[in-house]
Amino acid sequence: MFFHAQQLINPIVADEPDPAAANALQEGLGGQFSEMRTMMQYLFQAFNFRGTATPYRDLIQGIGVEEISHVELIATTIANLLDGAPGFKPNGTPGEGGSTPLEIALGTGNIHHFLVGGQGALPVDAAGNAWSGSYVYNSGNLVLDLLYDLMLEATGRLQKCRIYEMTSNRTARATISYLIARDAAHEAAFAKALETLGVDWGKTLPVPKFDATKYPEVKALMDEGVHLVQHHWRVDSSEMDLIFQGASPLSDVNAGELETTQTPPPGAPIPIGPERPEEFAPGLTPELMEVMEQATRGARKRTSPRASTGDGTHWVAEPKDLFLTELADVYYAEKALEKVLPKLAQESTDNTLAKGFEQHLEQTRKHATNVEQVFEAFGKRPQAQPCPGIEGIKQEHDEFMAEHDATPAMTDLFLAGAAARAEHYEIAAYTGLITLSRTLGDTRITKLLQENLRDEQAALRKVEAASKRLSNGRNGGRTRSRSSSRSRAKQTTRSTRARS
């Protein structure tokens, strides 16, 4: 399954419309070595993957999922470069007095951007040729596929560098620069995979072989290490980090340590294009708008769930209502974890893991306080709404501790997994709340929620590191037995379930 956060992977930088730059970017969107090809090629290689070499499948699939966001980013950039292009008369109406508000389409870029696409991106290359599925290479042979993937990233990066040299438009260059940096990361990923299979690259890479930091926008990104990190784009687990780690196979200024990240990029708002009457886009007359609004109002009333916000029950019909409903859910989760974390610390026999639970308890109390402040910003008293997600994780924990006579090492591994599941839930909850908070336009509540999210993401990284260490049989330092406390915990769990 794929999940979508309503954000771009990189911000759109504002500048004047530029249809010529938009057309050049079409090569990066729909050309033979484009983002559409990387997306489809890696996903099909992952879909058709055979055998048990899971780390390689996870690497290919993770990059393929990221490429979906690259297609979205470059298409949105093209649309922004086209929207309100020079020569457009914003106050004109179609056909008024014989005016020609789309005259620019005849002399700049690709006429289909205006004639077919309504000032939007198209699945074509810069010459107007339609993207073709025949571009996709998937032989079924892992080494051969990885070689083609490396070639694809290198060629795509080469072409983006050429496009960068063609335009000074800031909107175009910001997106091009980001993709140059990410192509370097993907070039390193596939090179590293081949390196683990015996290839020695020496000083061959990267392609093109030049100092990309001479582009100031690229330098700023590489200074942040954007070309050295790769998120796995999984909400369960991934073995990508078994390959994407260690020294980068790219030499010179591209060198550094590779890191598989456990948290995705923060994202950026998606700019929504204004209506363009000269394109008849979206073409909704006042009468059609009224029909649409009546239909959506009726649909909301029929399908919106009831939710408590602390002062009665009402229909969830607006973003604010949904925000408060979700906020009550995450508040319940934080208050529940305040009670659970001391228990997890007591049950753990691993010193590092137990200390991690104790430290996160203090963060959890701070998170609850932040959520309370968000409620207060809306003039609401804090109220927790039962959270089935957290309750399910708690129930799974209680049943395991009551019904399994696990060794201390296996108990620690289970506790780390349970904590990771809780962190994934909270990260998803706070990400959704932050997206909603931005639509409400209150930066103060967004900052409070972002603070909580950063803590949860850091906590997930720690608990996943603990899981990996425990899986490899390395103890965190606690050696004394805790069998008596585990026994008491089991007895407590059994009695609690009996009362229930």
Q: Which CATH fold would you assign to the domain 318-499?
A: Ferritin (1.20.1260)
CA–CA dist 231, 64 (Å, integer): 11
Mean pLDDT of 19-33: 96
Q: With left for phi above 0 and alpha for psi between -120 and 50, is residue 276 left, alpha or beta?
A: beta
Residue type (1 letter), 355: K
CA distance 193 to 249: 10
- 19-261, which class in CATH? mainly alpha
What is the per-residue pLDDT across 343-385, written as a single tens digit (0 to 9) for each?
A: 999 999 999 999 999 999 999 999 999 999 999 988 888 989 8
DSSP 48: T
Same fold, 19-261 and 318-499: yes
What residues form DSSP beta bridges with 306? 315
Confidence (pLDDT) at 151: 97
- pLDDT (tens digit per residue) in 215-241: 999 999 999 999 999 999 987 789 999
Nearest to 22 by CA among 155, 118, 158, 119: 119
Long-range contacts of 164-171, Cβ-Cβ distance < 8 Å, separation of 24 or more: 164/215, 166/21, 166/24, 167/18, 167/20, 167/21, 167/24, 169/15, 169/16, 169/18, 169/21, 169/81, 170/13, 170/14, 170/15, 171/12, 171/13, 171/14, 171/15, 171/18, 171/21, 171/77, 171/80, 171/81
DSSP result, 139-199: -S-HHHHHHHHHHHHHHHHHHHHHHHHH---HHHHHHHHHHHHHHHHHHHHHHHHHHHTT-
**pLDDT (average), residues 244-270:** 85
Burial of 334 (0-12, 13-18, 19+ CB in 10 A): buried
Report the predicted TM-score, pTM, of the whole model to 2 decimal places. 0.60
Band the pLDDT of 157: cuts 50, 70, 90.
very high
Window from 15-24, 91-100, 255-264 with minimum mean pLDDT? 91-100
The pLDDT value recorded for residue 497 is 43
Mean pLDDT for the stretch of residues 241-250: 94
Least confident window among 165-174, 176-185, 424-433: 424-433
| Digit-coded pLDDT (tens) for 290-348 | 887 777 666 555 444 444 444 444 455 577 888 898 999 999 999 999 999 999 999 99
On average, the pLDDT of the chain sits at 85
Percentage of residues in the chain with pLDDT exceeding 70? 86
Residues 95-135 have pLDDT tens digits of 566 666 677 777 778 999 989 999 999 999 999 999 999 99
Q: What does the domain layout of the chain look like in residue ranges?
A: 19-261, 318-499
Of 126 and 94, the one with more pLDDT: 126
Asked if 394 and 340 count as a contact pair (C-beta separation under 8 A), the reply is: yes
* Cis amide prior to 208 (ω within 30 degrees): yes
In the structure encoding, which two tokens stand for residue 494, read together?
Answer: 């059994």
Q: How far is CA 499 from CA 92, 155, 339, 493, 495, in A?
A: 73, 66, 19, 10, 6
